[in-house]
Chains A and B, each alone.
Chain A
Amino acid sequence: MRHTLAVLVENNPGVLARVAGLFSRRGFNIESLAVGRTENPAVSRMTIMVEADDRVLEQVIKQLRKLIEVLKVQDVTKEEHVDRELALMKVNAEPAKRAEIIQIVEIFRAHIVDIGRKTMIVEVTGDEGKVNALENALRPFGLKELVRTGKVAMLRGTRDMTTNGKEVEE
């Protein structure tokens, strides 16, 4: 099963190598990894997608927690959460095909962010399924380039990482 892990780390040089190295040397598979700073400049947040059964997942989480610079690890897969991914797709777009592409882009509430002589760049944000669906819809036109950021995720409502997934008392 695929899991989405939210990982808070100290924003130090080398911390990405520590996390990535842990995955590779213990034979865990990273499907995607997105990292950036948080509301606290000293803390970065990674969203890691990992394909693992329960036993492996438990090891992944425990081994991550052993890293000194890892502050918090949470599996948000089964929690109520929002996840989003952004993708840029450069698609073949001869003038005759453009109207059709624009129509598809509108259906997906995506955007066209660049138009070249024979291509357009489409920007889409959404959950994985939506990005996959758009990719499949545009593929027949000829996808020249595709880049995806990897998923970022956040718990819904008042719960947050600092309360470890438990409801905050209001």
Chain B
Amino acid sequence: MKKKMSGGEILVRSLKREGAEVIFGYPGGSVLPIYDALYDADIQHILMRHEQAAAHAADGYARATGRAGVCMATSGPGATNLVTGIATASMDSSPLVALTGQVPTALIGRDSFQEADITGITLPVTKHNFLVKDVNDLARTIKEAFYIATTGRPGPVLVDIPRDVSGGTARYVEPGPVELPGYKPLVDPDPAMVPAAAKLIAEAQRPVIYAGGGVVSSGAHEELRRLAELIMAPVTTTLMGIGGFPGNHPLSLGMLGMHGTRYANYAVCECDLLVAVGARFDDRVTGKIETFAPEAKIIHIDIDPAEFGKNVRVDVPLAGDVRRVLQKLLDALQGASHQAWMERVDTWKKEFPLQYDTNGLKPQFIIRELDLLTGGNARITTEVGQNQMWAAQFYTYTRPRSFISSGGLGTMGFGFPAAIGVQVACPGETVFDIAGDGSIQMNIQELATVVSNDLPVNVAIMNNGFLGMVRQWQELFYRRRYSYTEIYGPDFVKVAEAYGAEGIRVTKPNEVRPALEQAIASPKPVFIDFLVEREENVVPMVPPGGSLSNMLG
């Protein structure tokens, strides 16, 4: 007869069975039995300095690897601090398993100390969540949580574990195969729809492929490249799709949408066929929906049938795993050539390149320098705002999972902790968080985490003393009334040094390259405080609610 184990031990064993290598967490009263099991467990635990950062780090780990990231927090405030990170993962379909402690089952519902109804709170921002009420259900629930998080359209799953469950004892029983009668993730598309899509592609004269995060999460980048080359269609990606198609490929149009390239947006406006691959027609992509791709038939490939027709009408929906759908589609397609269309697109590319002037220290220049220095091979995370858009525009991403950013929720404070998860997942690789002076202050406490765990994460702060993107909107749409967007920050060099990290200040263009080289070479985490031009704008820009054909800047 097998020996009984504590709930905490069962949890650790279940996590190991799921292949989890690392937990990003923060201890507390309701998770004491779990931390006791972790004390001598063969699983890495990274002690963060805030639970929100734990969720973002696990999310960053998940986005860098494609495997579920695991974060953990105690009940009450620990759990509620995870919520922003869970919502971030939810909006970007990232596989996250969030473990929370809960007060003992007998105290639930009595407003007990550090009690929060975290399954209720996270209902709208999780793919699913569980409250485990019996230690005998724990192993099976963890298996189901990983299964739900990583299959179908990935997403966050929260498992709430009361202290008497983690502290209880049971025999560990290996769970059988997952049986969830209401959950059958799609894989292959309806075979009848593939010829319909192939026919539209064969008839198209001006096709454009619009690729989103689904390409990255399903690992379909190779299939996407083959499709684009086979049918000679230019490819534009969403923010989430960056890296899903090589940025240096002749067919690449870069990003589309509000801060996309003119040539991507013009191509979408004039195309007669739009092949949406793992993308969801977000408002930041489409602009004014009535004028989006007005002449195009639309093929929509997505794992989630609820995305079909949600924002735009679709001519041929193909539901299934993006990679599998593309494989089936490639089998059904003949090569095609659209010389006239490609010439038109190339003319736009020459006429309207992304550009910036070089007066003073420009954020765009810094990112270009980083691109040249790293050959497009660094892992880049971003915060949210101008820094994020410049990082999307001016770095050449050549491989999937190399650009990691909060797209849907737009979470300031994401990039630095996400970079921690990326660095843990990819030791030995160069990791940069491209930050603003506003965003970095939202999770700056994680300096302690990177220093104490010897994680050589680099943070490039585009320091303009403003909440830059909001300031840009105030400049453009609120007559330069800079209401509370001028933001005081600390001496970031001293802050980094105070934590035991390295700090570098850059004020001139010719200091950029040496500073980046120094940061990459340093075994320590490095903050580079780039004092950039204060009122630089992100251009081009589709004004909110405007059409893609009508860009400013």
Contacts and interface: CB of A to CB of B under 8 A. Distances in A.
A17 B123 contact: yes
Contacts of B148: 68
Interface residues on B, range: 10 to 19
Given A17-B123, A21-B123, A68-B182, 19 more contacts: A9-B182, A10-B182, A14-B120, A14-B131, A25-B124, A55-B309, A59-B306, A59-B309, A62-B305, A62-B306, A62-B308, A66-B304, A68-B127, A68-B128, A68-B148, A68-B183, A69-B182, A70-B182, A71-B182
B312 to A, nearest CB: 11
27 contacts: A9-B182, A10-B181, A10-B182, A14-B119, A14-B120, A14-B131, A17-B123, A18-B123, A21-B123, A21-B124, A25-B124, A55-B309, A58-B309, A59-B306, A59-B309, A62-B305, A62-B308, A63-B306, A66-B304, A67-B182, A68-B127, A68-B128, A68-B148, A68-B183, A70-B182, A71-B181, A71-B182
Interface in B105-134: 119-120, 123-124, 127-128, 131
Interface in B173-220: 180-183
Interface of A: 9-10, 14, 17-18, 21, 25, 55, 58-59, 62-63, 65-71
B338 interface: no
A124 to B, nearest CB: 35
A70 B182 CA distance: 5
Most chain B beta-carbon neighbours within 10 Å: one of A14, A68, A70: A68
A70 B501 CA distance: 50
Given A17-B123, A21-B124, A68 B309 contact: no
A15 B308 CA distance: 25
Contacts of A63: 306
A101 B182 CA distance: 49
Contacts of B4: none
Contacts of B309: 55, 58-59
Contacts of B123: 17-18, 21
A165 B3 CA distance: 50
B310 interface: yes
Binding site secondary structure of chain A:
helix
Contacts of B131: 14
Nearest to B124: A25
A17 B124 CA distance: 10
Nearest to A25: B124
Given A17-B120, A18-B123, A25-B124, A66 B306 contact: yes
Contacts of B305: 62, 65
A162 B306 CA distance: 22
A65 B182 CA distance: 8
A23 to B, nearest CB: 11
A70 B120 CA distance: 17
Contact of A59 (B119, B127, B128, B310): B310
The 3 closest A-B pairs by CB, nearest first: A62-B306, A68-B128, A71-B182
A9 B180 CA distance: 12
B248 to A, nearest CB: 37
A151 to B, nearest CB: 23
Interface string B365-405: 00000000000000000000000000000000000000000
B319 to A, nearest CB: 10
Nearest to B128: A68
A7 B128 CA distance: 18
A68 B310 contact: no
Contacts of A14: 119-120, 131
A63 B306 CA distance: 6
A65 B308 CA distance: 14
Nearest to A63: B306
Interface string B131-151: 100000000000000001000
Contacts of A70: 182
